Amino acid sequence: MELVANRMVRHWNWENNFDMGGNGRILLAWKPSHYSLTILDKTDQMIHNQATRLSNNSTFFITVRQSLWDDLVQLPKGITDATWCILEDFNAILTSADRIVGIMVLDTEVRDFAAYIDTCELSEVRYVGPYNSWTNKTIWSQLDRVLINHDWHGTFDYTQAEYKTNGCLIILLCSLAFQTDLNAQQGIAIERLNHIQQQFYADPSSYELIKQEANCRAYYINILFSTLSLIKQQCKADYINLGMTALGFSLLKQNKENLPLISTPSMIIHDLPLRDLRQ
C-alpha cells in the first residue's frame, strides 16, 4: 500500500483503517512539512484526527468519512470551540438534486443527514470538480462532501475542496492568509498581462506573444474568480453569524412582554404578560 500511495503523492504521510476489517476503505494523506496529525479515533467507518499546522501551532479537527450518524453526533462534544472539518463519502444525499436518474428521492433518505448537519451546526465548503461524484454508469449521485463548523472560518481565510471523478479522492485546500496572497498575485498578474499586451501591440503578428497574452489573461481571470469566491465565503460566514445574532434578538423581542414584573431569588410577584395587565 505504501508503494501505491507514494506513486499518488510523493513525500506525504498516510493513515488508513484497513486493519479495522473488510469495511475499512479510508486512506488519509497529509503533507508532513506543513501539518502533523494525531489519530484520536478510528473505526471501519471513520478516522477522527487532530491536526496541527506547523507554521503557527494552530490546531483543528478532521474527521474522514462516516455512515454511522450516532458516532459523529457525539464527536462535537469533545471539540467545543474548536475548528472542525468532516469530509469524504457520506453515502447519503441531502437534496433531490443530488441524484440523477434512479428512484425518486424520499424525505426519509435525506432526513438523517440533514438533521446531523443541523445538530452539529455544519456548512458545506465550496468545491470544484464534478457535482455528481459517484456513478455506476446509470445513476449519478452526489455522495462526497466537505463540511466545516463555524470556527473553521476563524482559522482559515480560504477553503476549497476538489472532487475527483467517481469519488476517488477529495483534496482539501485551505490557507490562513489567502486574501493577502490573492491581492499580491492579482497585482503581479495584471502587471504581467499589461507588459505582454504592450509587446503584442508593437508586434501583433508574433505567434509567441499571442500565446503568452492568452495564458496571462486566463491566469488573471482565474485570480479574479478566486478572489470573488473568497469574498463569497467570508460573506456566508458573516451571514450565518449575524443571522444567529438576529434570531436571538427576535426571540428576545417576542418574549420580552412575558418577563416577570418583579422577581426575587425567593419569589415572583407577577408573571402575567403586560398586555393582560393592561386589560
Q: Which CATH class is domain 2-176?
A: alpha beta
Residue 146 in 3-state DSSP?
A: strand
The pLDDT score that the predictor gives to residue 119 is 80
Task: Return the H-helix or E-strand segment holding 101.
Answer: none
Q: Check if the beta carbon of residue 153 is closer than 8 Å to that of residue 176.
A: no
The pLDDT score that the predictor gives to residue 23 is 65
Residue in 253, 252, 189 with CA at minimum distance from that of residue 219: 189
The pLDDT score that the predictor gives to residue 45 is 75
Residue 203 in 3-state DSSP?
A: coil
| CA dihedral sign of residues 183, 185, 191, 194 | negative
The pLDDT score that the predictor gives to residue 247 is 53
Q: What is the pTM of this model?
A: 0.47
The pLDDT score that the predictor gives to residue 30 is 86
Domain ranges of the chain: 2-176, 179-257
Looking at residue 106, the DSSP 8-state letter turns out to be P
Residue 36 in 3-state DSSP?
A: strand
To the nearest 10°, report the CA torsion of 204, 209, 215, 219. Answer: -80
Task: Give the integer Cα–Cα distance in Å for 214 and 197.
Answer: 10
Mean pLDDT by 10 residues, the chain (279 residues): 67 82 74 88 83 85 67 67 76 78 76 81 79 76 81 74 64 55 76 88 86 87 76 65 56 50 39 39
CA distances 123 to 24, 69, 114, 150, 174, Å, are: 26, 16, 11, 8, 15
Looking at residue 147, the DSSP 8-state letter turns out to be E
Region of 93 (left: φ > 0; alpha: ψ -120 to 50; beta: rest) is: beta
Cα 43 from chain centre: 23
The pLDDT score that the predictor gives to residue 261 is 41
